[in-house]
Amino acid sequence: MPELPEVEVVRRGLDRWVTGRVIADAAVLHARAVRRHEGSLRDDLMGERIRCVSRRGKYLWMPLSGSDEALVAHLGMSGQLLMQSPSTPDEAHLRARFTFTDQGPELRFVDQRTFGGLMVTPLAPDGAGGQVPDVISHIARDPLDPAFDEESFESRLRARDTEIKRALLDQSLVSGIGNIYADESLWRAGLHGRRRTGSLVGSSVRDLLIHVRAVMTEALAQGGTSFDSLYVNVNGESGYFDRSLDAYGQEGEPCTRCGTLIERERFMNRSSAFCPRCQPIS
């Protein structure tokens, strides 16, 4: 389940292996792998040089040299971007293949559950001197983005009438947070996911944001160690899972802070794990 730290690890690996290379061909092997794209992905990519690899939240994109367009990728639940030798047998869930004019390692998009997708889309100004694909202009900046506006986040969050976890998962408010890091951040902040946004004072929101950044930064540090090989992807994992998760997936385990057993409840068609003592509802 790639969230911001995992996607950033993929971005770094991709940047190292595909930046500057020219796409020779692009083959789409599964219709669902291409989303919201007009025309032929192959026609839009052949002969294009990849300028760099960028990221906002969980989205990756590769600006193309010959136009103001970019190849956009989202890994969804199970997506992987792999660098492989052309002679490596196809993966069972290979959805797209990109070869390069230098005949070096090819880029493969593998996705078991097909929640991920690719597209080529125009770039638009991002309001801070950079560019962002127009299809993700509604995605908010993520907490590790230097241009992230803390004051705006705080006021917009408090203006909402909903539950705090729902707000954390809303990518148009703040991006990059998924179920895992939402649960971990809320546990650290001592906030229940069902706590109403309107009831939070400013200092609570700022404290929560500190925990969001900390948990993501720690995960990134864990995951950043394994991408010096050809195998770019991290399989949606950052190594953080091996280390310490205090809430996510810990149902029935004692809270590492107070010893109370972690509970789980259904929420938004998924699970929320929390400590009933450290994270009171009110």
Partner DNA sequence: CATAGATCCTGTATGC
Partner DNA sequence: TGCATACAGGATCTAT
Catalytic residues, by residue number, are 2-3, 58, 270
Q: Does 160 bind DNA (CB under 7 A)?
A: yes
Q: 3-class DSSP state for residue 133?
A: strand
The residue whose two tokens read 């995605």 is 139
How many residues contact DNA, by CB under 7 A?
Answer: 34
Q: 120 CB contacts (<8 Å, ≥6 apart)? A: 37, 41, 44, 45, 64, 69, 70, 71, 72
Q: Compare residues 99 and 250 and give the one whose CB is closer to DNA.
A: 250
Amino acid identity of residue 205, one-letter, is V
Q: Compare residues 59 and 227 and give the one whose CB is closer to DNA.
A: 59
Q: Does 13 bind DNA (CB under 7 A)?
A: no
Contact with DNA (CB under 7 A): which of 18, 118, 132, 135?
A: 135
Q: What minimum distance in Å lies between the beta carbon of 22 and DNA?
A: 28
Contact with DNA (CB under 7 A): which of 19, 131, 256, 271?
A: 271
Where in 60-119 is the site for DNA (CB under 7 A)?
74, 76-77, 92-93, 112-115
What is the SS3 assignment for 60-117? EEEEECCCCEEEEEECCCCEEEEEECCCCCCCCCEEEEEEECCCCCEEEEEECCCCCE
Q: Does 246 bind DNA (CB under 7 A)?
A: no
Of 8-16, 60-68, 154-162, 213-221, the segment contacting DNA by CB under 7 A is 154-162
Distance CA 189, CA 204 (A): 8
Distance CA 105, CA 78 (A): 22
| Contacts with DNA, residue ranges (CB under 7 A) | 1, 3, 32, 57-59, 74, 76-77, 92-93, 112-115, 135, 138, 160-163, 166, 169, 171, 175, 178-180, 248, 264, 268-271
